[in-house]
Structure 1
Amino acid sequence: MRDILKRGIDIVLSAGALIVLSPTLLIMAIAIKLSSPGPVLFRQWRYGRNGVPFRIYKFRTMRIDACDPTGVRQVTAGDPGVTPLGQFMRSRSLDELPQLFNVLSGDMSLVGPRPHAIGMKAAGVLYEELVPYYALRHAVRPGLSGWAQANGLRGPTTEAQCSRSRIDHDLAYIQNQSLALDIKIIWMTIRSEFLAGSGS
C-alpha cells in the first residue's frame, strides 16, 4: 500500500512540477543551446531499482568535449570543463530538473537513494568493492533527492569514509522510509540547494 501511495504522489507531483516549471525549463534549454555547442540534455546510464540500468536525463553543464557519458570521471570543484552557465545550474541543482521526466516514467522517485553511474568509483576503487553491502541501496527506486544528499553528502566520492557514510544514509532511509520522512527530505533539499545554492 505504501509503495502505491508513494508512486501516486510521484506521478502527481512530478507532472505538476513539469507543468509549472515548463517556462523555466524552456528558457534554460534555450540558454544552454546558445551558450555552448552541443545537445541540451546529458544522458547517462545509471543503476535503477533492483540494479536494473536506466537512462537518466540532466541539463548539460559541461563542454561537449569534457562530458563523460560513463560517469567514471567525476566533476570536481573548479572543473574547467564546466561552462559558466553550467556552474550556475549546478550550484542550484537546476541541472537535475529533467529528472522529473524520469520520475514520471517510473525509473525514479522524488525521494530515494541518488542513482549512481554504472562503474562509479569511490576512493579510487569500484563502490561495490569499497562497500560490500552497496547493492542493498537498489532495493527501492532511486530518487531525485535522498537522505544522504539532504545531509550534505554529495559531490565527488574521493574519501572512503564519506563514501561509506553515503551508503549508510541510503540504507537508513530504506529502513525508515515514510511519507513524513520524504516530505522532510524534499524540504531540506529545497532549502539547502535550490534556495541556498549549496549544489555542486
Structure 2
Amino acid sequence: MERFDEGVRLDREGWFSVTPERIARHIADRCRSDVIVDAFCGVGGNAIQFAATCRLVIAVDICPERVELARFNAGVYGVQDRIQFVVGDFFELATRLRADAVFLSPPWGGPEYSNAEVYDMYRLDGTMDGREMMRAARSISKNIALLAPRSADVDQLAAMAGPGGRVEVEQNLLNGRAKTITAYYGDLIGTGES
C-alpha cells in the first residue's frame, strides 16, 4: 500500500498478504463493473483499488479486526463511501450476495506457501477447497478474478473453469520478477491491455 507513510495500518498477516498496489490497480482496471465482491478483503488493498473502478465494492472478511483495518485504510485513501464492509464467512454469505463480478484472494497459508514448487489450488491454505470457493463465487457471478501464488497449478486453475469453460491466466510482474498469477473467468477474459 503506497500510502503507508500517510497512516495505512497493517496487521502481521497483512504485511505478507496484501496485494502490491500496482498489481491491485491493474486487476481493478480489468474488473471494472458496477458492483464487485471482494470475498477475502483482508486489510483492504484490493477493495481500495476496486473503489476507483467500480460504483460499489462489497468487501467481506471473516476477521472483524481485519475489516476494521480495511475500513481505516479506505479512509486514508478517501474511498470509504464506495465500500460496504461485511464481517462474515464468504461461503455462508455468497448465496445472498449479488454483484457483477467477484474477486478472490483467499488465504494461501502464510509465507510458507512460497516453499511449494507447485501450489495446490484445491487445498489453498490447507483448510479451504478452491473448487468450493469457485462454486460459491459462481453463485454470485460468472465474472471472477482469482489471485493466486506465482507457483499455482495452472491446470487446476483451468479445471476450475468447469466443463467447456474458459480461463485467462495472467502472470503479474513487479520489477521484472513474477509476483503472482491472476486467473480471469467469464466476461473478464480478454479485458486486459494487449
**TM-score, length basis structure 1:** 0.28
Task: Give 1 or 2: higher helix fraction.
Answer: 1
Q: Looking at CA atoms only, which structure, 1 or 2, has the larger radius of gyration?
A: 1
Task: Give 1 or 2: higher strand fraction.
Answer: 2
